[in-house]
């Protein structure tokens, strides 16, 4: 089996280098998932260049299958820890046709076509998140103020009603005595 996986690695690496995936002859999503899951169970090729070409080959395979959120490329990316390789990320972001690649559940739009654009996009997302947190905090503060105001108004009404009951009760007592 190890030789078979080595041969698969070589075929996928060659596909990544050449841009040609026909030798792999994978046309169904289930076949790809089976292949990718099997490859993830075994040691991946050594050498950064081989690993990058393996990822490129896998991406080219996935592009032909239209996997969407079921893409397994992010599992390879995590395992190989290549998210910070700007050259590889540029290639992947430029050649992907699936917004879930290369991050899995998080997906920058397909318009993000390079690592530098991705970093810019992330900065914008962070600014947006901070703005939303600020707005949530402001809404929470205002809600607390309204709640406190309602509590004070309720207490004032209760105090007035208690005083009115005492006055009415004292009046009734005086009327009863007369």
Judge whether residue 94 has pLDDT over 90.
Answer: yes
Q: Are 9 and 54 in contact (CB under 8 A)?
A: yes
End of a domain among 66, 94, 110? 110
What was the pLDDT predicted at 178?
63
For the segment 29-77, what is each residue's pLDDT rounded down to a tens digit?
Answer: 677 888 888 888 888 888 999 999 999 999 998 888 878 888 889 999 9
End of a domain among 76, 95, 110? 110
What was the pLDDT predicted at 83?
86
Domain membership of residue 71 as a residue range: 2-110
What was the pLDDT predicted at 113?
92
Does one domain contain both 94 and 129? no
Does one domain contain both 38 and 100? yes
For the segment 144-178, what is each residue's pLDDT rounded down to a tens digit?
Answer: 999 999 999 999 999 999 998 888 887 777 777 76
What was the pLDDT predicted at 170?
77
Does one domain contain both 63 and 149? no
Does one domain contain both 152 and 96? no
CA distances from 175 to 34, 162, 167, 170 (A): 94, 20, 12, 9
pLDDT band at 142 (very low <50, low <70, confident <90, very high): very high
Q: How far is CA 173 from the centre of its chain?
A: 72
What was the pLDDT predicted at 27?
66
Taking the CA of residue 161 as centre, how many other CA atoms within 13 Å lie in the half-sphere pointing to its CB? 6
What was the pLDDT predicted at 28?
66
Catalogue the long-range contacts made by 121-124 (C-beta closer than 8 Å, 24 or more residues apart).
none
Does one domain contain both 133 and 91? no
pLDDT band at 2 (very low <50, low <70, confident <90, very high): very low
For the segment 105-129, what is each residue's pLDDT rounded down to a tens digit?
Answer: 777 888 999 999 999 999 999 999 9
Q: Could you give the number of structural domains in the chain?
A: 2
Judge whether residue 1 has pLDDT over 50.
Answer: no
pLDDT band at 22 (very low <50, low <70, confident <90, very high): confident
Does one domain contain both 19 and 58? yes
End of a domain among 55, 83, 110? 110
Does one domain contain both 38 and 84? yes
Quick one: tokens of 69?
């959120």
């Amino acid at each position: 089996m190890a030789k078979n996986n080595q041969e698969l690695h070589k075929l996928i690496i060659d596909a990544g280098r050449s841009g040609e995936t026909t030798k792999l002859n994978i046309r169904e999503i289930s076949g790809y998932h089976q292949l990718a899951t099997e490859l993830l169970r075994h040691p991946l090729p050594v050498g950064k260049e081989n690993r990058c070409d393996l990822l490129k080959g896998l991406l080219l395979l996935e592009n032909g299958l239209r996997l969407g959120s079921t893409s397994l490329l992010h599992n390879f990316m995590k395992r190989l820890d290549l998210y910070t390789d700007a050259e590889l990320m540029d290639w992947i972001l430029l050649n992907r046709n699936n917004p879930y690649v290369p991050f899995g559940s998080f997906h920058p739009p397909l318009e993000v076509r390079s690592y530098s654009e991705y970093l810019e996009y992330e900065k914008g997302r962070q600014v947006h998140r901070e703005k939303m947190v600020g707005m949530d905090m402001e809404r929470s503060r205002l809600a607390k103020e309204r709640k406190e105001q309602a509590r004070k108004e309720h207490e004032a009404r209760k105090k007035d009603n208690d005083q009115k009951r005492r006055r009415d009760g004292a009046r009734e007592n005086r009327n009863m005595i007369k």
